């Protein structure tokens, strides 16, 4: 639970600082329940965690939806939303009210129950996945031995939810869109999971708290020992981030949705608040994947330098998370979308071998002593595989008439 420290020891200065203000607040709330039986306190403790998680991330979702439009507007040389409230900050409230009072249309031939369950499931899954990420010192909503595995196990239900949405709508576009989305998620789940393995190997644990703790030291007090600063970690981080882009259906990999081909994919037959739920689940999934990237490669809630540890840990976590989310928006404003065959080629021919190379490079780094020598050797492994793959996959063909292939 939230009050268990991973090293079992907290300096009194830390315990009373702003760093632990939320943990202490929870303790204070629970102290009202000392007379109640143990299971009541346990349930209330979980409820507090759940409430905090939902409050923080739904607020972040609202903020992100308006900031994304503002930043995209900035990149495209226009204002973006600026009418509702100061700087357009109340835009999500207006959007929410609009979505709530819209008519909820369910197609006559749709499978009513499955049509209803799909958006619920997809949102629930995204929230569950967020639960295992350490947001600050002693601030993991749900501590579990195999937290990383939990993240992916729960996340794998997304595919089923997408399929349910596509099938229950009883619409060709929905079904085709769902198929596309599932094909894409399956292909990129492999590099996504395999790039986590080097970190798990090096730390020797599947628990997110231990992975964060393993990145807590500093070389010379300035350079943090985050895994992203090792060659294998940098490569794995980039692969993980790209796979995360695909998993959350973001540009340049947003093919499950395409107005000119398959309308809105599996969400075609959803309107009103159900559509908003899908939208929310997509963003929550994005937060979850980015949060895991921060946990695995960017040192979790650790400060980038020893002196900066004065600033509370959760501030650092959310700063890193925001930086990653900004990159998501930035990419959306910059890149055109990829074709589905380009995406599949990238996943199977480049990302997967690179992900395996990361595992080998991490092993090399470990056995060469985790120092400078290991750093150079693992850089050598990564560079070697990268060069070999670039030569092998060089598809700069000569110009030729375009060949179309159709399903037979």
Binding residues (CB under 8 A) for other proteins: these are 39, 111, 114, 144-146, 149-150, 152-157, 159-160, 163-164, 167, 170, 182, 186, 189, 204-206
Q: Which residue, 3 or 156, has its beta carbon nearer to other proteins?
A: 156
Q: Which residue, 134 or 231, has its beta carbon nearer to other proteins?
A: 134
230: nearest Cα among 346, 85, 334, 376: 376
Q: Which residue, 109 or 398, has its beta carbon nearer to other proteins?
A: 109
For residue 156, the minimal CB distance to other proteins (Å) is 3
For residue 220, the minimal CB distance to other proteins (Å) is 31
For residue 191, the minimal CB distance to other proteins (Å) is 15
CA end-to-end distance (rounded Å), the chain: 56
Q: Which residue, 121 or 361, has its beta carbon nearer to other proteins?
A: 121
For residue 170, the minimal CB distance to other proteins (Å) is 8
Q: For the stretch 367-377, what's the b/e string if a residue is b when 16 or more beta carbons lie within 10 angstroms of its beta carbon?
A: eeeeeeebbeb
Q: Which residue, 200 or 321, has its beta carbon nearer to other proteins?
A: 200
For residue 8, the minimal CB distance to other proteins (Å) is 17
Q: Which residue, 111 or 217, has its beta carbon nearer to other proteins?
A: 111
For residue 176, the minimal CB distance to other proteins (Å) is 11
Rounded Cα distance, 190 and 107, in Å: 35
For residue 405, the minimal CB distance to other proteins (Å) is 9
Q: Over the chain, what HEC string results?
A: CCCCCCCCCCCHHHHCCHHHHHHHHHHHHHHCCCCCCHHHHHHHHHHHHHHHHHHHHHHHHHHHHHHHHHHHHHHCCCCCCCCCCHHHCCHHHHHHHHHHHCCCCCCCCCCHHHHHHHHHHHHHHHHHHHCCCCCCCCCCCCCCCCHHHHHHHHHCHHHHHHHHHHHHCCCHHHHHHHHHHHHHHHHHHHHHHHCCHHHHHHHCCCCHHHHHHHCCCEECCCEECCHHHCHHHHHHHHHHHHHHHHHCCCCCCCCCCEHHHHECHHHCCCCHHHHHHHHHHHHHHHHHHHHHHHHHHCCCCCCCCHHHHHCCHHHHHHHHHHHHHHHHHHHHHHCCCCCHHHHHHHHHHHHHHHHHHHHHHHHHHHHCCCCHHHHHHHHHHHHHHHHHHHHHCCCCCCCCCCCCCCCC
Phi, psi of 399, rounded to the nearest 5 degrees: -65, 135
For residue 159, the minimal CB distance to other proteins (Å) is 5
Q: Which residue, 99 or 144, has its beta carbon nearer to other proteins?
A: 144
Q: Which residue, 117 or 331, has its beta carbon nearer to other proteins?
A: 117
For residue 13, the minimal CB distance to other proteins (Å) is 32
Q: Which residue, 144 or 264, has its beta carbon nearer to other proteins?
A: 144
For residue 39, the minimal CB distance to other proteins (Å) is 5
Q: What is the dihedral of CA 252, 119, 325, 196, to 10 degrees?
A: -80
Q: Which residue, 157 or 264, has its beta carbon nearer to other proteins?
A: 157
């Amino acid at each position: 639970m939230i009050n268990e420290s991973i090293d079992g020891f907290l300096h009194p200065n830390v315990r009373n600082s702003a760093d632990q203000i939320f943990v202490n607040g929870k303790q204070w709330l629970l102290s009202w329940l000392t007379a109640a039986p143990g299971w009541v306190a346990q349930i209330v403790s979980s409820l507090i965690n759940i409430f905090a998680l939902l409050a923080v991330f739904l607020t972040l979702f609202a903020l992100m939806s308006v900031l994304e439009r503002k930043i995209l507007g900035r990149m495209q040389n226009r204002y973006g939303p600026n009418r509702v409230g100061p700087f357009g900050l109340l835009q999500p409230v207006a959007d929410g009210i609009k979505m709530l009072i819209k008519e909820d249309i369910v197609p006559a031939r749709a499978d009513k129950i499955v049509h209803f369950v799909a958006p619920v499931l997809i949102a629930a899954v995204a929230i569950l996945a967020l639960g295992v990420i350490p947001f600050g010192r002693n601030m993991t909503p749900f501590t579990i031995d195999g937290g990383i595995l939990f993240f992916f196990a729960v996340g794998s239900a997304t595919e089923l939810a997408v399929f349910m949405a596509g099938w229950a709508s009883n619409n060709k576009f929905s079904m085709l869109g769902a198929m596309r989305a599932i094909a894409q998620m399956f292909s990129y789940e492999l590099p996504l999971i395999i790039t986590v393995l080097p970190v798990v190997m090096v730390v020797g644990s599947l628990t997110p708290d231990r992975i964060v703790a393993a990145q807590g030291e500093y070389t010379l007090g300035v350079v943090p020992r985050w895994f992203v600063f090792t060659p294998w970690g940098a490569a794995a981080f980039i692969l993980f981030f790209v796979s995360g882009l695909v998993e959350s259906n973001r540009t340049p990999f947003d093919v499950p949705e395409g107005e000119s081909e398959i309308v809105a994919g599996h969400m075609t037959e959803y309107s009103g608040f159900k559509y908003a739920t899908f939208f929310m689940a997509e963003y929550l999934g994005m937060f979850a994947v980015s949060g895991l990237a921060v946990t695995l490669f960017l040192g979790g809630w650790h400060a980038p330098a020893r002196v900066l540890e004065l600033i509370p840990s959760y501030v650092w976590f959310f700063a890193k998370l925001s930086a990653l989310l900004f990159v998501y928006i930035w990419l959306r404003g910059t890149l055109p979308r990829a074709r589905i065959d380009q995406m599949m080629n990238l996943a199977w021919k480049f990302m997967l071998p690179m992900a395996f190379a990361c595992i080998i490079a991490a092993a090399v780094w470990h056995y060469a002593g985790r120092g400078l020598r290991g750093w150079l050797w693992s850089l050598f492994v990564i560079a070697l595989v990268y060069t070999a793959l670039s030569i092998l996959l060089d598809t700069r063909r000569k110009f030729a008439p375009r060949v179309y292939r159709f399903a037979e």
